[in-house]
Structure 1
Amino acid sequence: MILEKNQIAAAEAASGKSETQLMELAGKRCADTLLHEYPENDSFLILCGSGNNGGDGFVIARHCLAAKRQVAIILMMNDIRTPAAIEARQKLPESCLIYGYEEMSEAQFQTMAQRYDVIVDCIFGFNFHAPLPDFLRDAFRWINQQRLSVVSIDLNSGLEADHSLGDPDALHSELTLALGALKPVHLFSREHQKLDRLIPISLGFSEPETSRWIQMDALQVTRLLPRLFDNDYKNSTGRLTIIAGSPWMAGAAQFNLEAAQAMGCGMIRAVVDPQIYPILQAACPHVVFHPSTQSEADFLALLSQSDAMALGSGCDHLENLDALLETVLKNSSVPVILDAAALRSLARHPEWLNQPQGEIILTPHVGEFSALCGRSVEEIQADRIRCAEEYAVSHSVTLVLKGADTLIVSPQGLRCVNKTGNPSLAKAGSGDLLTGLIAALAARGLNSMDAACCGVWLHGKAADKAIEKNALYTIHHKEILAGLDAFLMDHQKELWR
């Protein structure tokens, strides 16, 4: 379950529990988890803020003391501001050691932090807004540099609940305990590199009636994937046209085509530069090829025989790319997937997005998205969710913003963050495989959001399967497609009727 800040507040109100009761429940369950995860560690230093996150820390301290662990608290702020936190502090036994951060020297703080086995971060909760206060920044930087053992409660202090990032000096934790539900920022752990492991702590919240967040897993993907039936034939399992490749970039087209075939697309046509046709014909004999120099009438006839179309991978040197893209967007009533050079062409001609009759899927990395939306890379990275949602909704497209934690947003503002994949995908050609997978799924009948979410998830899952038998360094497209085959083999009975 993924909840944003306003949904957390609503869930707390609907729980029927007071702030004090929720704090006692959260603190007890966090303490139990800490004691289970760190059975050999005898001492905990708890850094408490002034709000309810600090109150959680007081409850944790009380239960750890009851378990005969050595505990000390450092109050990182001068005052405690919420009634529930004040009450939680009053329940601490007199034997609990409590220090004030602002009364300590830098050397005293550092000596104390190094003396304890585990630091428990209860400073800022989900209401935090960057930047960090200046008086805490040096302490946060020092803790991060020392790579001390840190457990963050709910959020790593310095991260923002509803955003993909937060302050660059946010605390790094080896474990974060997410209270009640995951928050959006938890989904971007590979982007912000601030948390190593995440454990959800249930507080009994109910699922919201509506959510803007989609979570993909193997069960969800296999439910969405098109089934194969005994009476299927090539035109019933997806007719896909791909415009890809150009002189010096034939490989991008090959990766598109091989991925589309691996995803079960029955009829694949490719529009390619005549110079690279011999290479691709030899590599992909299952594909029907057409020259990129064909007349507009012939091209429109080809469009009419397609269930989806992909355009742009490796097309940087395709002379008539702009003309082809404009024709596609003006005339296609089927889903169109745009990648690479087509995105750069679209950035030069944003008015073409006002013409489409069918669904559009865009697959930019952050640099390409910067050109599309007119924002700097830094601004996008600071708030990927808002930037992606504003663009997808205002332009009525499904946006696949690629990255370590790829974000997919629908024209209606639905969101999905992909959690499959590994660094073996950080190679040229990886995105071309992804475009082929998404395009094939769209051709086989999935709507644009489902095609994008499934394609991205399968792309990452194939890489995860690949590293079971191959080294990260050596994996390329053949191993990725073999990984996809391995996953589909695991679920073959569910996909064949």
Structure 2
Amino acid sequence: MKKVATAKEMKQIDTLATNSYGIEGLKLMENAGTGIVKALQRRFYDFSSKQVLIFCGKGNNGGDGLVVARLLFNMKIPVTIFLLERRVNLKGDAAINAELAFNLGIDIIELGEANLHFLEHHLENCDIVIDALFGTGLTRPVSGTYKQTIDKINQSKKHVTAIDIPSGLDSDTGMLMGDCIHADLTLVLALFKQSHLLFPAAELMGELELIDIEIPPELVDSEGLEVQVTEESDLRAWFPQRSADSHKGDYGHVLVIAGSKGKGGAAGLTSLAALRMGCGLVTLALPESCQKAFELHPLEVMTVPAPETDVGTFALSAKNVLFNHSRGMSAVAIGPGLSTEPETVQLLRELLPIIDCPLIIDADAVNALAQSPDTISQLKTDTILTPHPKEMSRVMGVETSKILEKRIEFARKFAHDHSVIIVLKGAATVISQPNGITTINTTGNPGMATAGSGDILTGIIASLVAQGFSTPKAAIAGTYLHGLSGDIFAQKESQASLIAGDLLRTLPETMKRILH
């Protein structure tokens, strides 16, 4: 796992690097500049012939840009600095690097309202723009000369490399603070920040590359950062080698409680996903009128008929049947296609708290919890909820727009308050544990915004739990594999044509990539 920092955490790490390890801020700034220049050299063929414009603010991000300007100048690369503050007003390490640049004779233009008209000519004749205006330090909407400068840079359509994060973004939430640089490449200093991974910011980053500025790893570890991002290598270490003399019972038994009249497909997708992910057995409990359709297809799934309402949903009288079948199961996946029929909702209120094995709660089962907040507090600790933002808003009683603005904050709060694992679905799915550890998922694409995709995820996670994964690892790995399957399919075919069944068909290739 790679650690992810908030702006406050990153500032604390920088401070400790100086105070506890004796690494001066100027040295860190020099390391950043050196790493940035090396990255640019790797990216651009015949870099020495490029005309570079560097836009610098007054803080440390601007200081990084000033170091880059000096290093490029010493390499005989044509470089111009646009300083959006008076040079005499700069402070600290940024001021020192500005003085060095000035003494070397680097072209420095102090940009303001009076000379903004010069900017278009320079942009027209440059090859590369480097954004060093704000970095993680922005705390209010962009305005004035900064706003106009960002607008002109975006309009120029030139290649833009952002230092740390594109200017105009909230480093922690990924939300836009007014106008924002649209980067082609973002060179991330030391650690990923939350905005690198969360939308809408993630769409404005371009390609991401992590730059080592030589902060000691033990310092980062000592800070107890609670947000992380999954890497493929993590998953490889989590999957055990299968024994040659193993049998289906060794890989767990999943009970899927899903479906209703007209929504049997959700039940089928969840069940098949659990099998495809590698569990040994799947039993699907359905309303009795739906069960007949599943007797011969899919052949690999066992079925259980349960009492139903007049409209073809689970009846309250199904409680004992479902509870008895949950006994001895390795995991229970519940919710896809259940409906919000009042009697079915009442069934869920009574059934969910008494199931003893690990629970994966999705879709209409999440909606049922929203109507019965007291039920949430009765859930067992090995419980995973997989809501999308609108379902999360219902459960928490918070507007969906607020959930989207602060996905990590709300997911962490709910997981902590109710001792459950939250898989808050969407672009950059957020997985939060009761202890505060939160993982941001980086796989998946817009083609997965299709009916049944969430049902597949529920089946995958349940299967991993059944095979012996801890619930946190199952949620993290399942989300990653689900998204990776979508990415593999989209790369071969297209995002637009992707349907949930394609995720099922691609899972074997996904697992081959992970395991081999």
TM-score, length-scaled by structure 2: 0.89
The answer for the alignment partner of 1:28 in structure 2 is 34
- Give deviations 1:97-134, integer Å, cap 9, x for gaps: 22222243443333333332111111112232232234
The answer for the alignment partner of 1:57 in structure 2 is 65
The answer for the alignment partner of 2:310 in structure 1 is none
CA RMSD between the two structures: 2.3
The answer for the alignment partner of 2:95 in structure 1 is 86
The answer for the alignment partner of 2:489 in structure 1 is 466
Q: 1:232 and 1:384, CA in 2 relative to 1: closer, same or farther beyond 3 A? A: same
The answer for the alignment partner of 2:236 in structure 1 is 222
Asked if 1:199 is matched to 2:209, the reply is: yes
- Residue 170 of structure 1 is aligned with which of 167, 173, 180? 180
The answer for the alignment partner of 1:39 in structure 2 is 45
Asked if 1:416 is matched to 2:425, the reply is: no
Take 1:306 and 1:354, find their aligned partners in 2: how far apart are those partners? 22
Greater Cα shift, 27-36 or 398-407: 27-36
Shift of 1:337: 1.1
The answer for the alignment partner of 1:119 in structure 2 is 129
Contact 2:54 2:81 in 1 (8 A): yes
Contact 1:191 1:405 in 2 (8 A): no
The answer for the alignment partner of 1:8 in structure 2 is 10
The answer for the alignment partner of 1:364 in structure 2 is 387
* Amino acid paired to 1:480: L
% identity of equivalent residues: 29
Contact 1:155 1:176 in 2 (8 A): yes
Contact 1:309 1:337 in 2 (8 A): yes
Take 2:246 and 2:129, find their aligned partners in 1: how far apart are those partners? 60
Take 1:122 and 1:311, find their aligned partners in 2: how far apart are those partners? 49
Contact 1:165 1:381 in 2 (8 A): no
Look up the SS of the partner of 2:108 in the other structure: strand
Look up the SS of the partner of 2:510 in the other structure: helix
Contact 2:56 2:84 in 1 (8 A): yes
Q: 1:295 and 1:341, CA in 2 relative to 1: closer, same or farther beyond 3 A? A: closer
How many equivalent residue pairs?
Answer: 493
Greater Cα shift, 50-59 or 25-34: 25-34
Q: 1:184 and 1:328, CA in 2 relative to 1: closer, same or farther beyond 3 A? A: same
Greater Cα shift, 59-68 or 323-332: 323-332
Q: 1:350 and 1:168, CA in 2 relative to 1: closer, same or farther beyond 3 A? A: farther
Asked if 1:107 is matched to 2:117, the reply is: yes
- Residue 381 of structure 1 is aligned with which of 400, 404, 407? 404
- Give deviations 1:295-330, integer Å, cap 9, x for gaps: 433322112132211111111265642133223322
The answer for the alignment partner of 1:74 in structure 2 is 82
Unaligned runs of 5+ in 1: none
Contact 2:161 2:187 in 1 (8 A): yes
Contact 1:311 1:325 in 2 (8 A): no
Contact 1:466 1:482 in 2 (8 A): no
Asked if 1:480 is matched to 2:489, the reply is: no
Take 2:515 and 2:97, find their aligned partners in 1: how far apart are those partners? 54
* Amino acid paired to 1:88: N
The answer for the alignment partner of 1:187 in structure 2 is 197
Unaligned runs of 5+ in 2: 308-316
Greater Cα shift, 318-327 or 345-354: 318-327
Asked if 1:237 is matched to 2:251, the reply is: yes
The answer for the alignment partner of 1:310 in structure 2 is 333
Take 2:513 and 2:143, find their aligned partners in 1: how far apart are those partners? 51
* Amino acid paired to 1:56: D
Shift of 1:440: 1.2
Q: 1:57 and 1:272, CA in 2 relative to 1: closer, same or farther beyond 3 A? A: same
* Amino acid paired to 1:179: L
Q: 1:86 and 1:358, CA in 2 relative to 1: closer, same or farther beyond 3 A? A: closer
- Give deviations 1:168-225, integer Å, cap 9, x for gaps: 5221100111112222221226764111101111111233133313432332213223
Contact 1:243 1:272 in 2 (8 A): yes
Take 2:515 and 2:27, find their aligned partners in 1: how far apart are those partners? 48
Shift of 1:135: 4.1
Shift of 1:166: 3.8
- Give deviations 1:321-367, integer Å, cap 9, x for gaps: 21332233220122211111111111111111111134221111112
The answer for the alignment partner of 1:160 in structure 2 is 170
Take 1:211 and 1:85, find their aligned partners in 2: how far apart are those partners? 28
* Amino acid paired to 2:10: I
Look up the SS of the partner of 1:473 in the other structure: coil
Shift of 1:285: 2.3
Contact 1:272 1:291 in 2 (8 A): yes
Take 2:515 and 2:408, find their aligned partners in 1: how far apart are those partners? 35
- Give deviations 1:366-407, integer Å, cap 9, x for gaps: 122122222222222222221221122112221111112111
Greater Cα shift, 250-259 or 66-75: 66-75
The answer for the alignment partner of 1:141 in structure 2 is 151
* Amino acid paired to 2:42: H
Q: 1:324 and 1:227, CA in 2 relative to 1: closer, same or farther beyond 3 A? A: farther
Greater Cα shift, 377-386 or 425-434: 377-386
* Amino acid paired to 1:421: G
Q: 1:168 and 1:239, CA in 2 relative to 1: closer, same or farther beyond 3 A? A: farther
Take 2:483 and 2:42, find their aligned partners in 1: how far apart are those partners? 32
Look up the SS of the partner of 2:398 in the other structure: coil
Contact 1:164 1:385 in 2 (8 A): no
Contact 2:52 2:130 in 1 (8 A): yes
- Give deviations 1:44-68, integer Å, cap 9, x for gaps: 1111101111111111111111222
* Amino acid paired to 1:321: T
